[in-house]
Chain A
Amino acid sequence: MLNYLLFIATIGSIYGLLALSLNLIWGGTGMVNLGLAGFFAVGAYASALTTTTGHMPILAGWVLALIVGGAAGLVVVLSTTRLREDYLAIVTLGFAEVVRLVASNEIWLTRGTDGISGIPGPWRVALGREYFNAVYLPILLVVLLLVYWLMRRIDGSPYGRALRAIREDAQVAQVAGKPVLRFKAQAFALSAAIAGLAGALYGHFTSYIAPDLFLPLITVYIFLAVASGGVGSPAGALVGAYLLIALLESARFFVELIPAVTAVQRAALKELLIAVALILVLRLMPKGLLPERIPRAPLVGGKP
């Protein structure tokens, strides 16, 4: 049981990283990234390939996942500068599909739908299964706390306030002399880099990645996590992510109590239950569990 809980906490923390990534651009700047799964995949593949085919150390893979994820984010956001901003959602959705198609079909690079197996984990062999999870979770938590700390710093900084101003009204922010496009592109790239890192951390934990892991469903889950935690609040995003995984897993045990149904019906009920619970959370707690608190700007004449 303990092992299972450690595992769930690990997956929850990876979802947490994704939730922080989404929260930065959705909560921070109001941009919509429906392609989260794509950036997650790009990072996972970058790190998996550098450490397996490339025989580089794991840390190099993680750094590369950050870079490649960020670069992909920059390409996507810059390719949409000519589009109206609500179309960013559609382009990102398409981006994620294209990533999955490339991963499935460009076998020379990604090994196709077979996926990449045997991705090394830090000290996995030496630790054995029992202890590997117990060591990986703290590593992941350190990364998660670092990212969380960064998000809080951004939130409280003049940069964060500028982003929020862009979210509330880009035109006003533009008039006020903020370089709106540059700020948005930076935030988007940073967010994509974090999603890429999450992908790398996932791959080195489970040791296997394949295109089927990066279906749009994961993006939907993270959106629901952020929305139920409270859009705009990093702490809310984290809480939402852990709640989500708790919901996904506890539904498993809950449906066992339902009598007189076939295996398919039980599986359908489980999915049904999860979806209804998510709708209820959105409906009953529209601001999320931990609503955003907008830090006050320093008073004029006070210390800058």
Chain B
Amino acid sequence: MNRLAIGRRTALLSGVAAVVAPAVLRAQGEPIRIATLTPLTGAGGPYGPVMAKVAAAVVDEVNAAGGVLGRKVQLVSEDDQTNPDAGVRAARKLIDVDKVSAIMGTWASAVTTAVAPLCWESKTFLCTVSGADSITLLPHQGYLVRTQPNTVLQVTRCGEFLLSLGAKKAYTLVPQTPFAQRSIEVLGETMKKAGGTHGGQIYDDKKTTYRTEVDQTMRFAPDAIFCAGYTPDTIVLLKDLYRAGYKGKIIGQAYAVNQKLIDQIGQNEVVEGVYTYAPSVAEGSTALERVKKMSGLANPDPYTSQVYDHTNMVLMAMAVAKATTGTAIKDNIRKITQGGGKTVDNAVDGLKAIAAGEKVDYTGASGPCDFDDKGDILDCKFRYEQVKAGKATLVKVA
């Protein structure tokens, strides 16, 4: 429980005040509690910390503008250790002790699937960035939305983009994850439909070299390679592909081929020309600029954008509902994400509009944030970028 929302001294003072003040006053001033459950240690460690930081920044902004429904918001941040057992224990603490009404930012699919039943059984709202197709098929009764497109949508778009670049023989390299098998199948189908061919292999993401994997890939002689891993393994893979003299196209997820990866490889020709893609809003959205400022990163991960969206959506849904429970969020989240109204890209503006009785339609940093009944995002635009001279540059949004 990081009391990130308010400064430590204020927290201490208000803690003292809370004890001293009469119970009636305390009930009125009781903060609204929401939580992030992101990986701060373990394999997801490179992603979780900045996610927690941005969620805290959104909460700070909202508190500075007067809070939600006249109450302060308090953000509790726990570590899921990228491990379902630790994730479940942390979630139980958030739900039973902190009594949060929403948990945001679960990252690993296994953690999300483990935590989801606790959430829907306790009527706590869950926002996730996990991509495994099975997650939104859980019987979650509406208590779950995810901002990450599912595997089918993501990989189909990746395939279509590769085809538009003229690729004929594509190859997928993917670590053993819940989306591994599906990624290979979907890219294969997409390529075959257009008369192309496809191969793929699943690798162990704990290896320190992928020379033999790369040799096998080169034997297939692909003209485009889809690297579907995360940043640490993609770094090694890109280096080994470069060493092997691979000259074809490479595409990776924007969460893996990010600025950290480029800086870390430290040699521009290794990543030169690599494509990245991520779900996106139309160009010129200011939400992404806000995420850049909050995270302090020139090129924040899609996950960071997504948890920014989670926090904004949850707080606005509470305002529309005039209630702060998980059920209130569940029943009202789609009222602020879709269906027309004033377009807003942050909760401070949104809360003002809602207080003024206006209908709002949130457009986030990760995309338009419109959800279907299962909690999946509706078909959305993707943002394709290409690394040029060590910087990701926009190719197109489509």
A and B in contact, CB less than 8 Å: yes
Contacts of A115 in B (CB 8 A): 84, 110, 113-114, 178
Task: Find out whether the CB atom of B114 lies under 8 angstroms from the CB atom of A248.
Answer: no
Is residue A50 contacting chain B, with contact meaning CB distance below 8 A? no
Contacts of A11 in B (CB 8 A): 89
Partner of A114, one of B92, B117, B132: B132
Q: Which of chain B's residues has its CB closest to A121's CB?
A: B117
Complex CA distance for A270 and B113, rounded to whole angstroms:
25
Contacts of B177 in A (CB 8 A): 113
**Chain B interface residue count, Cβ-Cβ cutoff 8 angstroms:** 47
Q: Which of chain B's residues has its CB closest to A4's CB?
A: B96
Q: Contacts A264-B40, A270-B79: A1 and B132 contacting too (C-beta < 8 A)?
A: no
Task: Find out whether the CB atom of A212 lies under 8 angstroms from the CB atom of B108.
Answer: yes
Q: Which of chain A's residues has its CB closest to B78's CB?
A: A252
Is residue A112 contacting chain B, with contact meaning CB distance below 8 A? yes
Q: Contacts A1-B96, A128-B121, A248-B89: A268 and B41 contacting too (C-beta < 8 A)?
A: yes
Q: Contacts A4-B92, A117-B117, A263-B49: A212 and B41 contacting too (C-beta < 8 A)?
A: no
CB distance from B244 to the nearest CB of A (A): 26
Partner of B96, one of A3, A212, A267: A3
Is residue B90 contacting chain A, with contact meaning CB distance below 8 A? yes
Q: Contacts A129-B122, A208-B84, A210-B110: A117 and B181 contacting too (C-beta < 8 A)?
A: no
Is residue B8 contacting chain A, with contact meaning CB distance below 8 A? yes
Is residue A215 contacting chain B, with contact meaning CB distance below 8 A? yes
Contacts of B97 in A (CB 8 A): 1, 4
Complex CA distance for A259 and B181, rounded to whole angstroms:
44
Contacts of B142 in A (CB 8 A): none
CB distance from B30 to the nearest CB of A (A): 16
Q: Counting chain B CB atoms within 10 Å of each CB, which of A128, A249, A260 scores highest?
A: A249
Complex CA distance for A115 and B85, rounded to whole angstroms:
13
CB distance from A94 to the nearest CB of B (A): 15
Complex CA distance for A114 and B112, rounded to whole angstroms:
10
* 8 A Cβ contacts from A142-194 to B: none
Partner of B79, one of A206, A211, A248, A267: A267
Task: Find out whether the CB atom of A210 lies under 8 angstroms from the CB atom of B84.
Answer: yes
Partner of A271, one of B41, B84, B108, B176: B41
Complex CA distance for A267 and B38, rounded to whole angstroms:
11
Main SS class of interface, A: helix
Is residue B138 contacting chain A, with contact meaning CB distance below 8 A? yes
Complex CA distance for A92 and B37, rounded to whole angstroms:
33
Binary A-proximity of B133-159 (CB < 8 A = 1, otherwise 0): 010001100000000000000000000
Contacts of A112 in B (CB 8 A): 178, 180-181
Contacts of B109 in A (CB 8 A): 113-114
Q: Which of chain A's residues has its CB closest to B49's CB?
A: A264
Q: Contacts A118-B139, A267-B79: A262 and B176 contacting too (C-beta < 8 A)?
A: no
Q: Contacts A113-B178, A114-B178, A264-B45: A212 and B8 contacting too (C-beta < 8 A)?
A: no
Is residue B231 contacting chain A, with contact meaning CB distance below 8 A? no
CB distance from B258 to the nearest CB of A (A): 17
Is residue A52 contacting chain B, with contact meaning CB distance below 8 A? no
Binary B-proximity of A196-216 (CB < 8 A = 1, otherwise 0): 000000000011101111010
Is residue A85 contacting chain B, with contact meaning CB distance below 8 A? no
Is residue B93 contacting chain A, with contact meaning CB distance below 8 A? yes
Binary B-proximity of A262-279 (CB < 8 A = 1, otherwise 0): 111011101100000000
Partner of B90, one of A3, A207, A252: A252
* 8 A Cβ contacts from B85-133 to A: 85, 88-90, 92-93, 96-97, 108-110, 113-114, 116-118, 121-122, 132
Q: Contacts A114-B178, A117-B117, A256-B1: A212 and B40 contacting too (C-beta < 8 A)?
A: no
Q: Which of chain B's residues has its CB closest to A6's CB?
A: B96
Is residue A105 contacting chain B, with contact meaning CB distance below 8 A? yes
* 10 tightest A-B CB contacts, nearest first: A4-B96, A267-B40, A129-B121, A267-B79, A210-B110, A3-B96, A264-B49, A263-B52, A212-B110, A114-B178
B-side interface residues toward A, CB under 8 Å?
1-4, 8, 40-41, 45, 48-49, 52-53, 77-79, 81-85, 88-90, 92-93, 96-97, 108-110, 113-114, 116-118, 121-122, 132, 134, 138-139, 176-178, 180-181, 202
Give 12 pairs: A residue, B residue, CB < 8 Å, sorted on A: A3-B92, A4-B93, A4-B96, A105-B176, A113-B180, A117-B117, A128-B121, A213-B83, A259-B8, A263-B40, A263-B48, A267-B41
